[in-house]
Structure 1
């Protein structure tokens, strides 16, 4: 997958969008994003055009309309940061799993909330993790994304855990003053 280079401003807006969206699940209004990143709504609308072109954001028309992050948005925020994979913790049934390294988190089908899956590529033993177990991955180094899910399946050959995502949490960045 080609990595998308985002400007700091785009990253900030995208992160604000993913944070607001994880709180409400509804489409997020440009004004709300503007408020969070301390820019005017016009600037946000312009940036959203470019983010839509990159397929990181979808526009939702109508009175309840606004913007929603796509699966690629979460990946774009994360992919640039996975330089130190050892820094991503993995928890199984609430206990930290030692001796495994999270190499990559692949978010597929975020467009279908009921089919929302994360493929977690791992180095290390995963024998004790079974279908139906709860697994938490993260926080990731930069966007501090935490994915909570239920193990839906395993690909032992490639060391991939397939999680049904129950929650994705990306905490808000501290505002820079």
Structure 2
């Protein structure tokens, strides 16, 4: 399949749709997407027309209707759907988050002691995270890595939390 270039708005809407659909597995109403990403429902409806034309979204008519992502939507967002993804423990201000899964952790500026950052790519809503909130991710499967920090920003287009790192804990010895 050829690569599809999505606008930031389309990417934000498609990401929200795939996350909301994953939570409920039912059709997702445009109003629900609008609320999730703080946009006007009319904007969502307009963007859905172009996403339908790209065959990334299908409309479901009726009172329980709304929108569902197609398999191509996951490919366009580069999401690999795992049947049983490993669950990475994730805490927000000391409370375990259970409706969100960590997809990826990217570390940047690890060479700089005061400016080390982590980008936490999530599957699920990032709406309730705010600057200054404490986040702990891990231990990760396989490596047992634990990342602790505070939210420095968020990227709703890519469903990322940007953390100002306070601590990275890695096991002292390699597992055989």
Q: TM-score, normalised by structure 1?
A: 0.50
* Alignment correspondent of 2:64: 64
Conserved 8 A contact 1:77-1:143? no
Instruction: Report the structure number with the largest CA radius of gyration.
Output: 2
Deviation per residue, 1:40-79 (Å, 9 max, x gap): 1110000000000111100000010000011111111117
Q: Give the direction of change, closer, same or farther, for the CA distance of 1:49–1:143 in structure 2 (3 Å limit).
A: farther
Pairwise CA distance, 1:144: 3.8
* Alignment correspondent of 1:171: 124
Q: TM-score, normalised by structure 2?
A: 0.50
Deviation per residue, 1:9-66 (Å, 9 max, x gap): 1110011101111111110000000011111111000000000011110000001000
Pairwise CA distance, 1:140: 4.5
Q: Give the direction of change, closer, same or farther, for the CA distance of 1:27–1:8 in structure 2 (3 Å limit).
A: same
Partner Cα distance (1:62, 1:135) in 2: 32
Where in structure 2 are there 5+ consecutive unaligned residues? 88-101, 106-118, 128-153, 157-176
Conserved 8 A contact 1:144-1:171? no
Pairwise CA distance, 1:171: 2.3
Partner Cα distance (1:3, 1:140) in 2: 21
Partner Cα distance (2:25, 2:36) in 1: 17
Partner Cα distance (1:46, 1:171) in 2: 24
* Correspondence 1:139 to 2:103: yes
The structure with more helix, counted as a fraction of residues? 1
* Alignment correspondent of 1:55: 55
Conserved 8 A contact 2:20-2:124? no
